[in-house]
Amino acid sequence: VDALQEIADKYNLKLIFDAAHAFGCTYHGNNIGQFGDAEIFSFHATKTMNAFEGGAVTTNNAELAKKMRLMKNFGFSGYDQVTYIGTNGKMSEIAAAMGITSFESLAEFVEVNREHFELYEKELSGRDDLLIKGYSPKETTSYPYVVIELLGEEAPLLRDVMVQLLHAENIIARRYFYPGCHNMEPYRSHFPNAYLLLPETEDIMRRVVCLPTGTTVTTEAVQTICHIIRLILDNKKTLLAEFDAASTSQHSS
């Protein structure tokens, strides 16, 4: 946050944060939503704070807030008066009702996420081939994601094999931030060499897996998922050899 603000200040740029999953989280003890020129939260059903769809923009800039209020309501500033460009970006009643319901249960959702995260941590700790991305004890978080990072030379191959095997068990683990914005349109065509400038992103996006959490996941399910992950890691050599043989025979047939 601070480093990006420094760059924005230096080059006189606007700074807009994607805070999609950061509802109820803090940075240096301050609530997310007050940084940069604006922050954008998602209330999609996959988020801890859920209104089916939709989101919110927060800003400390009163002028910008006024413009956004006009923009989401066709630019109407009064009866029969359109004074700004706009579209229909209003939140529907049913989404708002869901949002309020979700907000009322937020503490409960966060508690379930925390319990799941701590169980994953306990079940998968002490290994040199896997790291659980932690949350700072100094900050408030909703534990929205359980992200594991595979370590070692074979990590990228093993990651893809792991996701396939988990899917085969009906465990919808995700590579998530793969293959990275810079490898998707329109950025890919605009900046075809971006991958050369982003070695850290290129490395990490090949090694991470996002594991299931939230209130629809049971404690037993977390234990089963961890058991399968340990099995995969403990048998990685055999599994990688089998996947290699299977893909070779697929390509030659």
Ligand X SMILES: Cc1ncc(COP(=O)(O)O)c(C=O)c1O
Asked if residue 55 binds ligand X (CB under 6 A), the reply is yes
Of 18 and 242, the one with the shorter C-beta distance to ligand X is 18
Counting contacts by CB under 6 A, is residue 4 touching ligand X? no
Cβ 177 to ligand X shortest distance, Å: 8
Does residue 108 interact with ligand X by CB under 6 A?
no
Of 8 and 95, the one with the shorter C-beta distance to ligand X is 95
Choose which of 17, 23, 42, 208 interacts with ligand X (CB under 6 A).
Answer: 42
Site for ligand X contains 33 (CB under 6 A): no
Interface of this chain with ligand X, residues 5 to 24, rule: CB under 6 A = 18, 20-21
Q: Cα–chain-centroid distance for residue 138?
A: 21
Give the H or E element holding residue 58: strand 55-58
Q: How many residues does the chain have?
A: 253
Please, is 173 exposed, middle or buried when counting C-beta atoms within 10 Å of its C-beta (0-12, 13-18, 19+)? buried
To ligand X, the closest distance from the beta carbon of 160 in angstroms equals 21
Of 95 and 151, nearer to ligand X (C-beta) is 95
Taking Cα atoms as reference points, which of 14, 15, 60 lies closest to residue 34? 60
**Residue 175, interface with ligand X (CB under 6 A)?**
no
Tokens of 38: 């604006």
Q: How far apart are CA 69 and CA 243, in angstroms?
A: 53
Closest CB 248 distance from ligand X, rounded Å: 36
Q: Which neighbouring-strand residues pair with 57?
A: 40
Residue closer to ligand X by CB (options 50, 59) is 50
Query: Strand pairing partners for 18?
Result: 40
69 part of the interface to ligand X, by CB under 6 A: no
Which range in 40-48, 103-111, 163-171, 198-206 contacts ligand X by CB under 6 A?
40-48
In this structure, are residues 96 and 51 in contact, taking their beta carbons and an 8 Å threshold? yes
Give long-range contacts, CB 8 A cutoff, 24+ apart: 81-84. none
User: Which residues lie near ligand X (CB under 6 A)?
Assistant: 18, 20-21, 42, 44, 46, 55
